[in-house]
Amino acid sequence: MARYTGADCKRCRREKVKLFLKGSKCDGPKCPIESRPYPPGQHGRARSKDSEYLLQMREKQKCARIYGILERQFRGYYEEANRLQGKTGENLLVLLETRLDNVVFRAGFAKSRDMARQLVRHGHFLVNGKSVNIPSFQVTPMDIIDVVPASLDTTPFIVASAELGEKTVPAWMEVVGSKMRILVHAVPTRPIIDTQVQEQLIVELYSK
C-alpha cells in the first residue's frame, strides 16, 4: 500500500498551519513551524501569488495530509461523496472522519493518525467482535470497537489508558475507558467536525 514516507513537519510548513501530524510534538516549542513558519525549499520565503486554483489545491492538499491520504484514494472519497445525497463537501468530511484509524485517533487511543493507522494495520482492534486491520474501514452507528485483549498489556495501550480523559472525545462517539472500548453513536455532522478546512474549495477544484 502506497504511503507518504517524507518528513511530516514539512507538510505542516507547506500548508503554513499545524496539521498535528506528530502528536504531542506539535504542541511543544520544538515544532518546526514555530521557528520556520514558511514553506520548505529554496524559495519558501518568497511571496507566491495566491491564485484561485492555488487556494483550492492547497485546501485539498491540507485536508488529504491531515487524514494521511494520498491523491488517488482522496479522489475516490470525493467521488463517493459526490454520489451521496446532501452536500458533497460535508459528505467528504464525514467519510474521512468515520475511517477506523481516525476513530481510534479521535478516541485518544493513539497520539496521531499515523500511529492509529499503524495500530490498526497490526491487528490491535476488533469491530463488533471481528478483527479488522484495514485503516480505511468505515465505521457506522452502533459499531463497537475494542482493543484486542492480548494487546491491552502492550505499551501503546498502557499509555493510552493512563492518558484517557486528557483529550476531548467528539460527541458522536463514546469511550469506555475501563474496557478500552469505543462506542459509535451516530454519523458526525459538519458542525461537530473540528477539521479546519474549507471543503467547498475542494469541491470547486474537483468540479472543474
The CATH code that applies to domain 8-96+193-207 is 1.10.1050.10
Indicate the pTM of the whole model: 0.79
Domains 8-96+193-207 and 100-190 share a fold: no
Domain boundaries, the chain: 8-96+193-207, 100-190
With b for 16 or more beta-carbon neighbours within 10 A and e for fewer, the 147-159 pattern comes to beeebeeeebbee
The string of pLDDT tens digits covering residues 60-117 is 999 999 999 999 999 999 999 999 999 999 999 999 999 999 999 999 999 999 999 9
Structurally, at CATH architecture level, domain 100-190 sits in Roll (3.10)
Rg (CA), the chain: 18
